[in-house]
Amino acid sequence: MRNLRIKLAYDGTDFHGWQVQPNRRTIQGALQEALAEIEGDTVEVHGSGRTDAGVHALGQVASFHLKNRIPADNLRRAVNRLLPDAIRVLEADEADADFHPRRRAISKTYEYRIWRGEVCPPFSSRYVYHHPYPLNEEAMAKAANAFAGTHDFRSLAAGGEEKESTVRTIFSSRLEKDGDLLTYRVRGEGFLYRMVRNIVGTLFEVGRGNFAAEDVARILAAKQRSQAGPTVPARGLFLVEVQFRAATGS
């Protein structure tokens, strides 16, 4: 059977996240339905990782096996015709037999978008977290840098992962301002459940003056969820890109 790899974008607002669930609209569920219609049989789609309800993607990667001989480019068009407008397959290619988007991934990039203007444009409200109140953005940017490196991120994990290692390497962690848009951009080898939203919640506490940028080291060392900031809403979060190692290394 062929192994196909797709890159997709989605507006997660009206979906219960990536993972298929009975009687719920999910991204994986919508993809599997569309592909089953083309294949005439059930198709199991593997993602590079789950995204939560309301989280968006600019470049999620998934793979699946297919008996159907339809050329990859025609498949992309056919799937897009069957999918809702909120999910779009951007690219489709033949992958090597062993390709699996979760196992082959070496890093992922996420963005969290915060709208700082007093009025949030109605065309952006599904894609940003609106926070027009005072924040010390300079201190937040300094705190953002402090998450880079290899750390035990237990304080930033939503829980339930206590038995596995919570050590992760973050390659870059930066806060950037462009007009009214404040964007946190992070690239790491992997992320714990809700880790990006918990980091951003912690940056907010720094922005409000409840933590100093220097407290990040202390929060990480504590290895207790209660020491970090709250989880920010899903609507501002985008899975931007997934990076993979070459096939030979698999």
Residues of the shown chain interacting with its own copies in the complex, contacts defined by CB under 8 A: 9-11, 56, 80, 85-90, 119-123, 125-127
CB 90 to its own copies: min, Å? 6
Our answer to whether residue 152 is catalytic in this structure is no
**Given the residues 14, 52, 85, 152, the one annotated as active site:** 52
Question: % helix / strand / coil in the chain, to the nearest 5?
Answer: 30, 30, 40
Q: Give the Cα separation of 130 and 189 in Å (integer).
A: 29
Rounded to a whole number of angstroms, the minimum distance from the CB of residue 105 to its own copies is: 22
Nearer to its own copies, 66 or 86 (CB): 86
| Residue corresponding to tokens 């929060």 | 219
Quote the least distance from Cβ 77 to its own copies, whole Å: 8
Q: Which is nearer to its own copies, 60 or 155 (CB)?
A: 60
Closest CA to 190 of 112, 110, 100: 110
For residue 28, give the 3-state DSSP assignment. Answer: helix
- By C-beta, is 112 or 147 nearer to its own copies? 112
Relative to beta strand 56-66, strand 2-10 is: antiparallel
Six token digits for residue 235: 């609507």
Residue whose CB is less far from its own copies, 89 or 206 = 89
Least spacing, CB of residue 89 vs its own copies, in Å: 7
Residue among 8 and 139 whose Cβ is closer to its own copies:
8
* Six-digit token string for 208: 């409000």
CA dihedral 129, 224, 156, 137 (to 10 degrees): 50
Please tell me the distance from the alpha carbon of residue 162 to that of residue 175, in angstroms, as a whole number: 29
Residue 179, Cβ neighbours under 10 Å: how many?
Answer: 8
The nearest distance, CB 185 to its own copies, in angstroms, is 17
Whether 103 contacts 170, CB under 8 Å = no
List the catalytic residues: 52
